[in-house]
Structures are given as structure tokens and as C-alpha cells.
Amino acid sequence: MLENSKINIKIKLAALWASVTLCYLYGDYFELYTPDKVNSLITGENTLDSPIKLLIASVILAISSVMVAASVILKAKINRILNIVFGVLFTLMTVLVGIYSTNEWYLFYVFLAILESIITALIVWYAWKWPRE
């Protein structure tokens, strides 16, 4: 029989944040292969067409990236709160992105949005059910 060790909640949360961050990055990377995307990047006529929009996108990606380490480093109370708050925020944000990705070229975005929503919902679930002493 194989051993199934109990995994600390902090490690579970960090692994989930790492997974969802990779999905965000792959989605952005795969978008480069959609029609006219490269041309829109060259001309500057794209979704991230201003310094403020680039900053907002950077902050969003930075939050999920930093939550990998924060989930391991922070004390339980603040850790739980941040995981619930950011988990809910990212779940809602991802669902909205998925809803508006209707072009057949963006089916990969819909797939990733569903997967990301499941992962961020799991983050909220695990943080909500944080084990008590």
C-alpha cells in the first residue's frame, strides 16, 4: 500500500497558486498564436494599449505569483484572509474573462478560465476550511 502523507495547508495553497499562475501565463502565451495578435502588438492596438493597463495586468499577475510564497511564509490568520479575499477576487475575474471569450479562437481561454476558476475556488475552500488547533 502506498503512503499518502498529510500535506500542510500552506503547501496546498502555495501549490494551487503556482498552478493557477502557470495557467494565466500559458493563456497569455497561447494568445500570441491567435489571428492578428502579433500585428496588434506591433501597432499598439491591443487590450494592453496603455501604461496604466500594463501596470494593472502586472499587479494582477504579481498578486498570484506572490501568493505562492505568501501562502508558505505568512502566519495562519492573515494567510487565511488573503487566500480567501484573493481567491474570491481571482475566481470572479476569471469567470468574467471566460464569459467574454466567445470567439472560436479563444476556446483555449474558456478552457483555461474554467480550470483557473476551479483552482481559485479550491484556494478559497481550503483557506475557509483551514484546520484548527
C-alpha cell at 97: 474573462
pLDDT at 48: 79
pLDDT at 103: 79
pLDDT at 98: 74
Cα–Cα dist 95/117, whole Å: 7
pLDDT at 38: 85
Compute CA distances 79 → 16, 128, 129, whole Å. 14, 11, 13
Q: pTM above 0.85? A: yes
Q: Which residues have CB under 8 Å from 46's CB, separation 6+? A: 37, 40
pLDDT at 83: 98
pLDDT at 21: 97
pLDDT at 76: 97
| Per-residue pLDDT of the chain in tens (133 residues, 90 and over written 9) | 898 899 999 999 999 999 999 999 999 899 889 888 888 888 878 777 788 988 998 999 999 999 999 999 999 999 999 999 999 999 999 988 777 767 788 888 889 999 999 999 999 999 999 999 8
Cα–Cα dist 42/10, whole Å: 42
pLDDT at 31: 87
3-state secondary structure the chain: CCCCCCCCHHHHHHHHHHHHHHHHHHHHHHHCCCCCHHHHHHHCCCCCCCHHHHHHHHHHHHHHHHHHHHHHHCCHHHHHHHHHHHHHHHHHHHHHHHHCCCCHHHHHHHHHHHHHHHHHHHHHHHHHCCCCC
Cα–Cα dist 37/39, whole Å: 5
